[in-house]
Chain A
Amino acid sequence: KAGVTQTPRYLIKTRGQQVTLSCSPISGHRSVSWYQQTPGQGLQFLFEYFSETQRNKGNFPGRFSGRQFSNSRSEMNVSTLELGDSALYLCASSYANSGNTIYFGEGSWLTVV
């Protein structure tokens, strides 16, 4: 079955702009989470959604937001982009409420110039 699908794969934005990234989880998965990967900070948890509700949130500023739709697809948005937001943004999904093993998509590479 299809894996986690993220779009777009690559994008370049200018400082101050905003960006929306999309994620389609594995069929049947209802939990979706987002992670940011940078060379300096590694993989860091952004937030998690289950049944359209944000269940957990990492230590990121309010410029980072997300949402989940009734079909479990998710989007994340970053407003007022800063150079330091350049990163690989990874979406992961899992089956159930307990969200044990999470499966990642290929990621969206964001470059802020």
Chain B
Amino acid sequence: DQQVKQNSPSLSVQEGRISILNCDYTNSMFDYFLWYKKYPAEGPTFLISISSIKDKNEDGRFTVFLNKSAKHLSLHIVPSQPGDSAVYFCAARYNYGQNFVFGPGTRLSVLP
């Protein structure tokens, strides 16, 4: 049973436009969420996080939105750049610690 879902396996966006990556979760006890991007043959790189007490967090071109009632979060990248092309994972945790549950990932392609 997938507790964290990323229903779009892939997404293509034009350079300069907005990329929106979505993530849904089923466990209402999750209290902390992270987004990572991953290039082939590299470890995941941390992008941005959000606590369940907030509904939005921004860091430069990246903004994460959390809708607790819908158990949904999204990552917005504005403007998108070709270097953003990678696989993006959302991850969720409850009961603190490092035991995060990861989604299956969405492959983002930013076209020049």
Q: A43-B91, A107-B42 are in contact. List 6 more A-B contacts (CB 8 A).
A: A90-B43, A90-B44, A92-B98, A100-B32, A101-B34, A102-B46
Mark contacts of A90-113 with chain B using CB atoms, 8 A cut-off: 1 yes-contact digit, 0 otherwise: 101010011111111111000000
* Ranked 9 nearest A-B pairs via Cβ: A33-B98, A104-B43, A43-B102, A48-B98, A56-B99, A99-B98, A106-B43, A45-B99, A104-B44
Interface string of B90-108 (1 = CB under 8 A from A): 0100001111111111000
A interface residues, how many (CB within 8 angstroms): 28
Interface residue ranges of A49-94 to B (CB < 8 Å): 55-56, 58, 90, 92, 94
Within 8 A of A (CB), among B27-86: 32, 34, 36, 42-46, 49
Asked if residues A45 and B32 are in contact (CB atoms below 8 Å), the reply is no
Asked if B49 and A45 make an inter-chain contact with CB atoms under 8 angstroms apart, the answer reads: no
- Listed in ascending order, the chain A residues whose CB lies under 8 Å from chain B are 4, 6, 31-33, 35, 42-45, 48, 55-56, 58, 90, 92, 94, 97-107
Evaluate contact between A33 and B99: CB separation under 8 angstroms. Answer: yes
Which residues in A have their C-beta under 8 angstroms from that of B100? Answer: 45, 102
- Looking at A6, A43, A99, which has the most chain B CB atoms within 10 Å of its CB? A43
Please give the number of chain B residues whose Cβ is less than 8 angstroms from any Cβ of chain A in the complex: 21
Q: Is the interface of A mostly helix, strand, loop or mixed?
A: strand
Min C-beta distance of B64 to chain A, whole Å: 13
B97 touches A99 (CB 8 A): yes
B89, CB-defined interface residue at 8 Å: yes
Task: Let me know if A98 and B34 touch, CB within 8 A.
Answer: no
Q: Take A42-B102, A45-B99, A56-B98 as given contacts and tell me if A103 and B32 are in contact as well, using a CB distance cutoff of 8 Å.
A: no
- A90-B43, A101-B46 are contacts. A56–B89 as well, Cβ < 8 Å? no
A42 to B6, CA, bound (A): 12
Task: Please measure, in the bound complex, the distance between the C-alpha atom of A77 and the C-alpha atom of B42, giving whole angstroms.
Answer: 21
State how many angstroms separate the Cβ of A85 from the closest Cβ of chain B.
Answer: 19
Complex: chain A residue closest to B2, CB-CB: A42
A45 to B100, CA, bound (A): 7
Chosen A-B contacts, 10 in total, with CB atoms closer than 8 Å, are: A42-B104, A45-B99, A48-B98, A48-B99, A92-B98, A102-B46, A102-B100, A104-B46, A106-B43, A107-B43
